[in-house]
Amino acid sequence: MTTDTNTLPLVAGEDPAVLAAGAPDWLAALRRAAIARYDAIGLPGPRTEAWKFTGLNAVKALTPVPAEGVPATELPPAVAALDGPRIEIVNGRLSALPAMPTGVEVVALDDPAAAPEWVRAHLGSIASFETHPFTALNTAQLAGGVAVRIARGAMPEAPIVLSVAQAGGGETATIAHPRVLVVVEEGGSADLVTVFQGSGRYIANPVTEIAVAEGARLGHAVLQAEDAEAFHVSMTALKLAEKSTYDGFVLATGSKLARHEVRAELDGEHIEYAINGVYLGADGQHHDITTFIDHARPHGTSHEMVKGVLTGTARGVFQGKILVRPDAQKTDGFQMNRALLLSRDAEVNSKPELEIYADDVKCSHGATVGELEDDELFYLMARGIPRGRARALLVEAYVQEAIALIGRAPVRDAFAAVASEWLDRHVAGVSGSGE
């Protein structure tokens, strides 16, 4: 029987208590608090509102061991072709660190005791584990990963690629808790591409904390392309300061079950925040995109367009909440969730929420779920384009419209190529399955 109590700790590898013993005070305290919190809240069950559409029984049934070895993965060619430095995290630990452009500093979190001040100032302070057991677990195990700093006013031209890969098992699943901290200092501007991949059966539990300082900008595109046997539960937590910009995007194509959660605190005036995305699901895949946007101060803008394409028995979940606090006057929030179902057995749950306490705001939200438009399909066919090809063209256009929201052109092009490749494999030539 599944209960809301902690029936499966998922704690593998180093005992957090042991880890905590050898760490400096600040880190030991953080880890102890996290493991205590994890013990208290446990893994979510069917009665946990935040997880009601994403059941975790399959995850709870696993007894994972720490991930080790070399995953059989390669970056998608279009991403590999991006002209920038590539940081590699394997099994939760930094494994490759190339030379960085001027103004970019990267440190391994393997020895957080030696962490510079800018790491200590932010690590664990952005991603709250109060109500999120997976973040608590990641924090309790905090011993690997990387911290990236874009120095004040620095503007590295090429996107930085952060590859996060994990070696899974055959029978026995592995688990890893990659940790990433990104700090963009005042006036800095950078583009980061995070790619999650792996091979075999595993649970990936990454947490990314991002602080964007006053007048700074981060373009951040995430590709979740985990193995089809993998479970991916990720948290991206952001703290944005005045006049900062975050241009976020997620393209989710991988995993058997994935939850991509993004929580942003817009803690300053005139912040421009975007969190757009596309999830592509085939067979029995489950994609969950959950976002929370906290407009705390006036004149903030948020833009969220999430589109899904589902075939087979795939399932999509979108939960998007926008909170506009009393002080956040003149907030301009846009949220739209669309899902395209290409088979009768595909399913989607969409839960948009607006919670507004300011009286002078402009917020809109909406959700659509449907099949391809008959009149569009007919228009293509009336010009001689066969049904299967017409469907593929329309689905491609639907997806690329969202990908076009990625601000930086080289990143946009790379993601467009990755999405096209998925559509070629899963939609092209699939004719009439939804008719």
What does 283-317 look like in DSSP terms, one character per residue? Answer: TT-EEEEEEEEEE-STT-EEEEEEEEEE-TT-EEE
C-beta of 404: minimal distance to another protein in Å?
8
Of 395 and 414, the one with the shorter C-beta distance to another protein is 395
Secondary structure class of 344 (helix, strand, coil): coil
Min dist CB 381 to another protein, Å, is: 4
Beta pairing class for 93-96 and 86-90: antiparallel
Scored b (16 or more CB within 10 A) or e, 159-178 reads: bbbbbbbbbbbeeebbbbbb
* Nearest distance from C-beta of residue 405 to another protein, angstroms: 12
Nearer to another protein, 213 or 377 (CB): 377
Site string for another protein, 203-242 (x = CB under 8 A): ----------------------------------------
Contact code string over 330-369 relative to another protein, x by CB under 8 A: ----------------------------------------
Of 274 and 390, CB closest to another protein: 390
The nearer residue to another protein, 180 or 392, going by C-beta atoms, is 392
| Cα(433)–Cα(169) distance, integer angstroms | 34
CB of 397 to another protein, least distance (A): 3
Q: How far is the CB of 398 from another protein (least distance, A)?
A: 6
> In terms of CB distance, is 72 or 404 closer to another protein?
404
Rounded distance, CA 374 to CA 258, Å?
31
Per rule CB under 8 A, count of chain residues that contact another protein: 23
The C-alpha R_g of the chain, in whole angstroms, comes to 21
* CB-CB contact of 272 with 305 (8 Å): no
Range 77-136, binding another protein (CB under 8 A): none
| Shortest separation between residue 367's beta carbon and another protein, angstroms | 18
Q: Which is nearer to another protein, 191 or 396 (CB)?
A: 396
Concatenated DSSP letters of 153-220:
T---SSPEEEEEEEE-BSSS-EEE--EEEEEE-TT-EEEEEEEEEEESBEEE--EEEEEE-TT-EEEE
Q: Given the complex with another protein, which of 53 and 398 has the nearer CB atom?
A: 398
Give the β-pairing of 202-204 and 231-240. Answer: parallel
Judged by CB, which is closer to another protein: 190, or 390?
390
Least separation in angstroms between CB 399 and another protein: 8
409 CB-near residues (< 8 Å, 6+ apart) = none
Do the Cβ atoms of 310 and 318 come closer than 8 Å?
no
Residue 264 CA neighbour count, 13 Å, CB half: 30
Minimum Å distance from CB 426 to another protein?
A: 18
Residues in 368-427 that interact with another protein by CB under 8 A? 374-376, 378-387, 389-390, 393-394, 396-398, 400-401, 404
Binding site for another protein (CB under 8 A): 374-376, 378-387, 389-390, 393-394, 396-398, 400-401, 404
